[in-house]
């Protein structure tokens, strides 16, 4: 059993946004070979500083990939509660009790579209981006977009090649575009991911050079896939791109030696490729009887799969939202804290994680309070962030408080969880006033501070 890497993150100030979509699949090295030549609404930032302590080892059976911005969760015992005014609490023993939950994948529209903005040849290009966040164009958190070529029959080609012109600007090593194609009935990455920016800030035209396709399934099934993780984009101001995340034009499949062109999309007249988003995974939040993972009584909310309790389901973007609580009586500056008991079995570093938001206007605007991953192991392991409480004072005054617990996973999910309850379990949620969230001082033997 290995301990997860502990790193100190100096993240930008979080900002409010209506949370969008799951975070991306990791960015493994590609196996294709490349022939080269020279070549949501405006937001108001706020600050939420979380302190974490790493108490328990974590193991993961998932493929290694660069770790996501969410911090490794810290685990602790139940604290001794100080005297507070409890505005609302729920121990889950009464069932759903006003909570709502859903798969947020419903209704998501693809971000790939043809646009004249910064177009390659002065006409139109495919762009996975938006003017939603700033005037120079950019992208948001948690995007997972695909631009799919129609099936391309390359029968008779002696040396089929994929070529194109492209431009990209995204958070380095975190947000990237991967070219994927079917090989032996399985999607395979042809590159390690276009990430960061192109030196000089201009397009690159591959011309007659590109990706060799001779060992792929025929007809060819190819797609460009842009993915962004949970933080640092134009949406929250953590990464300011110009025309991000990805643009592509003149997508061509041809025979390098014979010259025959099997497919060409110049992005004009709406283009020939098909924008798409990932398939829905379903809503996995539900009340279960689990005395081991309950801090009071026997009932808890759990986001996991009853059919396989050892693995985190893939392709999740599952929301659990608390009932509204009237906070109109709280003056600006009143100490106010969200507390909860959360047991996580999310043993991965490839963008399977949970995140917590708060709203003080009945869910019109959501503020991200933090994001975490980790495996608590035994049922008695609880997220230190929930024990200490997440501060809400900076969000006051308000009218109606709601909390959102959001669980996101990659396509393959992750597991197995150490205690056999893979996913996240939630119990004993409360909204308290009169005492601020505190930094842990007595639960941690090893301590790392994360700024969120």
Half-sphere exposure of 437 (CA within 13 A, CB side): 24
Residue-wise pLDDT for 210-269, tens only, equals 999 999 999 999 999 999 987 789 998 999 999 999 999 999 999 999 999 999 999 999
Q: Which CATH architecture has domain 112-277?
A: Sandwich (2.60)
DSSP bridge pairs for 433: 85, 336
**Mean pLDDT in residue range 363-379:** 84
Residue-wise pLDDT for 300-345, tens only, equals 999 999 888 888 888 888 999 999 999 999 999 999 999 999 998 8
The whole-angstrom separation of Cα 405 and Cα 296 is 19
Beta-sheet pairing, 367-375 with 71-72: parallel
For 395, phi then psi, to 5°, come to -95, -5
Average model confidence (pLDDT) across the chain? 78
The structural domains of the chain, with segments of one domain joined by +, span 49-106+280-451, 112-277
**Mean pLDDT in residue range 369-376:** 84
Among residues of the chain, what percentage have pLDDT more than 90? 54
Determine contact, residues 398/431, Cβ cutoff 8 Å. Answer: no
Residue-wise pLDDT for 98-137, tens only, equals 999 998 876 678 999 999 999 998 799 999 999 999 999 9
Tell me, letter by letter, the H, E, C secondary structure of 136-161. Answer: CCECCCCCEEEEECCCECCCCCCCEE
CATH fold for domain 49-106+280-451 = Jelly Rolls (2.60.120)
For the entire predicted model, the pTM comes to 0.61
The whole-angstrom separation of Cα 357 and Cα 368 is 4
Kindly give, in sequence order, each residue whose CB lies less than 8 Å from that of residue 36, ignoring residues fewer than 6 positions away.
209
Residue-wise pLDDT for 21-52, tens only, equals 333 333 222 222 223 222 223 333 333 332 23
Question: Whose CA is closest to 410, among 309, 303, 314, 280?
Answer: 314
Residue-wise pLDDT for 171-201, tens only, equals 999 899 999 999 999 999 999 999 999 988 8
- 49-106+280-451 with 112-277: one CATH topology? yes
The whole-angstrom separation of Cα 131 and Cα 139 is 8
Residue 222 structure tokens: 């190819």
């Amino acid at each position: 059993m290995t301990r997860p890497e502990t790193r100190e993150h100096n993240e930008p100030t979080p900002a409010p946004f209506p949370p969008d979509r799951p975070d991306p699949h990791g960015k493994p090295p590609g196996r294709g070979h490349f022939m080269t030549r020279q070549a949501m609404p405006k937001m108001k930032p706020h600050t939420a500083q979380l302190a974490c302590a790493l108490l328990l080892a974590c193991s993961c059976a998932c493929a290694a990939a660069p770790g996501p911005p969410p911090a490794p969760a810290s685990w602790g015992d139940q604290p001794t509660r100080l005297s507070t005014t409890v505005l609302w609490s729920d121990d889950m023993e009464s069932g759903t009790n006003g909570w709502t939950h859903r798969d947020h994948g419903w209704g998501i529209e693809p971000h790939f579209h043809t646009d004249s903005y910064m177009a390659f040849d002065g006409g139109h290009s495919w762009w996975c981006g938006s003017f939603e966040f700033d005037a120079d164009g950019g992208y948001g958190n948690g995007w997972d977009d695909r631009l799919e070529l129609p099936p391309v029959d390359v029968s008779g080609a002696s040396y089929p090649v994929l070529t194109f012109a492209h431009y990209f600007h995204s958070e380095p090593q975190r947000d990237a575009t991967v070219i994927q194609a079917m090989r032996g009935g399985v999607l395979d990455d042809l590159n390690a991911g276009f990430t960061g920016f192109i030196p000089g800030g201009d397009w690159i035209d591959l011309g007659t050079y590109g990706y060799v396709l001779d060992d792929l399934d025929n007809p060819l099934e190819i797609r460009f896939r842009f993915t962004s993780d949970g933080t640092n984009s134009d949406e929250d101001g953590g990464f300011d791109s110009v025309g991000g995340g990805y643009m592509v034009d003149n997508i061509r499949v041809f025979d390098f030696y014979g010259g025959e062109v099997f497919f060409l999309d110049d992005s004009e007249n709406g283009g020939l490729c098909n924008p798409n988003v990932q398939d829905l995974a379903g809503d996995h939040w539900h009340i279960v009887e689990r005395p081991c993972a309950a801090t009071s009584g026997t009932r808890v909310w759990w986001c996991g799969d009853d059919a396989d309790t050892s693995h985190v389901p893939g392709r999740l973007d599952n929301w659990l939202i608390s009932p509204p609580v009237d906070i109109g009586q709280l003056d600006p500056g009143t100490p106010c804290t969200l507390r909860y008991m959360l047991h996580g079995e999310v043993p991965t570093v490839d963008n399977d994680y949970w995140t917590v938001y708060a709203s003080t206007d009945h869910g019109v605007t959501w503020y991200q309070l933090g994001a975490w991953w980790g495996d608590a192991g035994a049922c008695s392991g609880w997220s230190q962030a929930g024990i200490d409480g997440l501060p809400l004072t900076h969000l006051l005054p308000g009218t109606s408080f709601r909390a959102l617990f959001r669980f996101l996973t990659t396509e393959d999910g992750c597991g197995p969880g150490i205690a056999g309850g893979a996913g996240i379990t939630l119990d004993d949620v409360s909204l308290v006033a009169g005492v601020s969230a505190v930094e842990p001082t007595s639960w941690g033997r090893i301590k790392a501070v994360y700024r969120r």
